[in-house]
Copies of this chain bind each other. A is one copy, B any other.
Amino acid sequence: MNFLNEVAQRFPAAISFAAGRPHEANFDVALIHEYLDTYCRHLAETERRSEEEVRRTLFQYGRTKGIVHELVARNLEADEDIAVDPEAIVVTVGCQEAMVLILRALRRDERDVLLAVSPTYVGITGAARLVDMPVLPVRSGDGGVDLADLAAVVRRARSEGLRPRAFYVVPDFSNPAGETLPIEQRHRLLRLAEESDLLLLEDNPYGLFRARGGRLPTLKALDRSRRVVYLGSFAKTGLPGARVGYAVADQLVDGGTGGAPTLFADELSKIKSMLTVNTSPVAQAVIGGKLITYDYSLLRANEREIATYARNLRQVLNGLARRFPGPRDGQAPQVTWNSPAGGFFVVVTVPFRVTDQLLAQSAQEYGVIWTPMHHFYDGAGGEHQLRLSCSLLESGPLDEGLDRLAAFIRDRV
């Protein structure tokens, strides 16, 4: 995505629907101090650690799997109805490190492959590239995943001697497509994973940000047979600058020593000890303090953000509808978009080819930036689509940005 950053840097005055960064209205440096203090008080008063132990916890190298694992487990219980042994949690340097750890653990040789819906999040394809693991595309379908195609891709891969190790999926408000997997599809996906002996990597960075309808249970909450490795991020719900994420990896795996099976989390921990040793305890303490402050509920901590993202998403969807009211006399509309139930992203389909060249033109001549969807495909796909992110903008610039986008599109249809 270097080209995109470059465009953003060359045209700093352009209004950007490109970055999927969290809203900044509630950033306040004082919060970092407060969260740190809250975490230290928690160690001293609730955990009964001595002053020396508190200092050591923050300053020294620490436990490879992390120091806020118990707090994360309480958060999962509070917000997601996921009950998990804290020992099965590995706290990581953002969710990105968790992806790398998992794929590195799953990759034994060149026959191991990952499956993912196309289009997919660039973070997972990047992680797969780092560990030399091919990603086989699965067609998107009802709510995001074409389950028949998933089954077919698994069969085909196996017949070719490949080992499909896992299927990566974002069931809630996916990036880039903004899709949400319906509840029946979640159950079906779990059954299919069971029948196909496939691990599911569930990534859930946006799940709290539902804009309409009720929240659905995560795959992990429905998981009865440890089929799901759950990927969590505090980048959108905690504090992005802490760079703290985690994996829940409660699968039992062969420990390799002929002894009892061990937790997959412990295998990830061994890899982490060679990758980053441990996640900054200072950064973990900031996240821990935020979790404690809100009684372990990030739903509660993010009440304002959830409202902001819902409002922005509505504003984008209504704004598009107002600016592209559709054709008269029954013709098919030339410009369409999907209607996500939450999250950060909307996909707009246009009747012309969406290239990087056009993005540069849009930035320079119209003062508006977005993301060409073809970047989220490995190979063909998304050529007539662009992604709008609604997370960062305030209401005024968002409206102005839609005006500019509409002008850019209208000049091309």
Contact = CB atoms under 8 A, between A and B. Distances in A.
Interface in A127-180: 127, 129-130
Nearest to A54: B29
Nearest to A272: B96
Interface stretch (A58-66, A246-254, A316-324, A332-340): A58-66
B36 A40 contact: no
A275 to B, nearest CB: 6
B276 A241 contact: no
Interface stretch (A279-287, A294-302, A399-407): A279-287
Contacts of A55: 24, 27-29
Contact of A275 (B2, B36, B96, B281): B96
Contact of A241 (B28, B97, B273, B280): B280
A235 interface: yes
Most buried by B among A21, A52, A130: A130
A220 interface: no
Nearest to A97: B276
A240 B276 contact: no
A21 B60 contact: yes
A100 interface: yes
Contacts of A54: 29
B241 A58 contact: yes
Number of contact residues on A: which range applies? 35 or more
B97 A275 contact: yes
Interface string A195-222: 0000000000000000000000000000
B96 A276 contact: yes
Interface string A245-272: 0000000000000000000000000110
A152 B235 CA distance: 50
Contacts of A33: 33, 36
A7 interface: no
Contact of A280 (B52, B59, B93): B93
Shortest Cβ-Cβ A-B pairs, 8 listed:
A126-B274, A243-B280, A241-B281, A27-B55, A27-B59, A93-B276, A280-B283, A59-B241
11 contacts: A22-B60, A24-B60, A27-B55, A27-B59, A29-B36, A60-B241, A96-B274, A97-B276, A104-B130, A130-B271, A243-B278
A119 interface: no
B59 A239 contact: yes
Nearest to A127: B274
A28 B241 CA distance: 22
Given A56-B27, A104-B130, A240-B60, A32 B282 contact: yes
A282 B241 contact: yes
Contacts of A235: 61
A146 B100 CA distance: 37
Interface in A1-44: 2, 21-22, 24, 27-29, 32-33, 36, 40
Contacts of A273: 126
A278 B241 CA distance: 9
B96 A93 contact: no
A232 interface: no
A94 interface: yes
Nearest to A1: B273
A277 interface: yes
B282 A242 contact: yes
Contacts of A21: 60-61
Contact of A239 (B36, B244, B282): B282
A61 to B, nearest CB: 5
